[in-house]
Amino acid sequence: MVPISYDGEITIPIAILSNFVQDILAGYIPAIMTVLIIITLIGTLAAKWVKPAFIQNSSFFTNLFDVSYIWVIARVIGSLFAVAALFKLGPEAVWSENTGGLLLYDLLPVLFAVFLFAGLFLPLLLNFGLLEFFGTLLAKFMRPVFKLPGRSSIDCVASWLGDGTIGVLLTSKQYEEGFYTKREAAIIGTTFSVVSITFSLVVISQVGLGSMFVPFYITILIAGLAAALISPRIPPLSRKPDTYYNGEASKADESIPEGYTPFSWGVTKAVAKARTHTGVAAFFKDGAKNILDMWMGVAPIVMALGTLALIVAEYTPVFQILGMPFIPLLELMQIPEAKAASETLVVGFADMFLPSVIGSGIESEMTRFVVASVSVTQLIYMSEVGGLLLGSKIPVTFLELFIIFIQRTLITLPIIVIAAHIIF
């Protein structure tokens, strides 16, 4: 996660390793991911009806394959879409380069490589005291401001410097291990899975305003902070139960014992956690489990839900219709080409890159700036983070994600428009 300079850019080691693997396996990853999605479906069907001993006797494989029937259906659909996109079978709407093809050839290769290294090295974040140390140091800031434990700051940094997917995976793993309540996990997953700095640059460049990256990024940081302050305090996030994954009531104690400072108590807790480490073999075993959990648990869901969302965005007027209520709001805020801008505001729920692709044809620089900024601060898009959240154990539903997406749009839009008027 430590930012370094590489090829003239600021990035993190996991991103470098991820890009390296994608370059080496460029033409093979779509086929590899298709095979993994099919294997996941076979394992799921076996767990439901054949019940082989290797699944029944392993809590890891039971959790991975013995899922609810709604996820069985999702894995069936994901497998069909993956095969269709790989071999260009069936209706073009399923496998075109703007729907299933986009996911299989553009997104899933990124997830394959990121999951490989994020999963392998995740124990470095979880098992050696880093979260305990920063959790203690930042508890007095994160709890009153964001209603979260201090350790959640690491999830945010992991997203900000690396990728939103890393933050979701880190949060899901900690939720399953009992460090976050249902409410806390839902807040972090939907509020702190921020888009990385590098991808933000891609978005602003897509709308032809790459030279304005600094004011653009300052704008989305301010708007994102406002959403992070407000969203946890209103439904549906505020109504999430404060119970843990196993159903127990919240019992988190972040108080500092007498005789300790936050720093010394953080070090004490970190060292105690590091001492529970049992060796190199256990480290790689945990890493391998994480990789399989990410590949098989998440990829089929992303393929299924992401493709469906993109088909709706590409071949139906649904998102244009949903965007119509924003036209008078944009006109009130004196945004040029309000109708064109309104069509981009809701389509981001399908894929975060779609608004900047559609908005790149808008003549007004101010409007393009607003479109790009809103698309980044909305955070929840089904082709990646939304699919990841639904595929993880984090307790959020599809409807809740859409409501939070609209909330974030309404919270951040006025802030971004004010910034746009100041800048332009």
Contact 231, 183 (CB under 8 A): no
Contact 165, 387 (CB under 8 A): no
**Which of 326, 347, 349, 348 minimizes the C-alpha distance to 338?**
326
> What are the residues facing 5 on neighbouring strands?
10
Greatest CA span in the chain, whole angstroms? 69
Position 234 pLDDT exceeds 90: yes
State the chain's mean pLDDT as an integer: 86
Give me the pLDDT at residue 10, please.
63
Return the DSSP state at 11: E
Position 249 pLDDT exceeds 70: no
SS3 227: helix
C-alpha 215: how far from chain center: 24
Min mean pLDDT across 213-217, 253-257, 275-279 is at: 253-257
Q: What is the 3-state secondary structure (H, E, C) of 283-316?
A: HHHHHHHHHHHHHHHHHHHHHHHHHHHHHHHHHC
Min mean pLDDT across 74-83, 154-163, 329-338, 342-351 is at: 154-163
Give me the pLDDT at residue 371, please.
95
In the block, tokens 């069907």 appear at 45
DSSP letter string, 322-381:
HHTTHHHHHHHTT-SSHHHHHHHHHHTTT-THHHHHHHTT-S-HHHHHHHHHHHHHH---
Give me the pLDDT at residue 198, please.
61
**Which of 397, 400, 341, 327 minimizes the C-alpha distance to 370?**
341
Cα within 13 Å of Cα(37), Cβ side: 33
Tokens of 298: 């998440």
Position 106 pLDDT exceeds 60: yes
CB atoms inside a 10 Å sphere around CB 46: 16
Task: Give the model's confidence band at 250: pLDDT under 50 very low, under 70 low, under 90 confident, else very high.
Answer: low
Position 123 pLDDT exceeds 90: no
pLDDT in tens, 297-338: 878 888 887 788 788 888 988 888 989 999 999 999 999 999
Give me the pLDDT at residue 157, please.
67
Give me the pLDDT at residue 154, please.
75
What gap in Å lies between CA 157 and CA 139, rounded to an integer?
15
pLDDT in tens, 387-410: 778 878 899 998 999 999 999 999
Contact 381, 351 (CB under 8 A): yes
Top pLDDT among 155 and 280 is at 280
Residue 6 parent element (H or E)? strand 4-6
Read off the pLDDT of each residue in 334-356 and give the average, rounded to a whole number.
Answer: 87
Sign of CA dihedral 393, 174, 22, 110: positive
**Which of 342, 388, 323, 387 minimizes the C-alpha distance to 168?**
388
Top pLDDT among 163 and 344 is at 344
Give me the pLDDT at residue 391, please.
77
What gap in Å lies between CA 384 and CA 305, rounded to an integer?
9
C-alpha 348: how far from chain center: 14
Position 161 pLDDT exceeds 60: no
**Which of 218, 279, 198 minimizes the C-alpha distance to 12?**
198
What gap in Å lies between CA 301 and CA 389, rounded to an integer?
10
Give me the pLDDT at residue 141, please.
85
Give me the pLDDT at residue 251, please.
58
**Which of 361, 379, 377, 358 minimizes the C-alpha distance to 420?**
377
CB atoms inside a 10 Å sphere around CB 52: 12
What gap in Å lies between CA 174 and CA 422, rounded to an integer?
41
Cα within 13 Å of Cα(373), Cβ side: 32
Min mean pLDDT across 3-7, 119-123, 315-319 is at: 3-7
Give me the pLDDT at residue 11, please.
67
Position 84 pLDDT exceeds 90: yes
Give me the pLDDT at residue 377, please.
92
Which amino acid type is present at position 48? K
User: Per 3-state DSSP, what percentage of the chain is helix, strand, and coil (rounded to 5)?
Assistant: 75, 0, 25
Contact 334, 420 (CB under 8 A): no
Tokens of 229: 């302050």
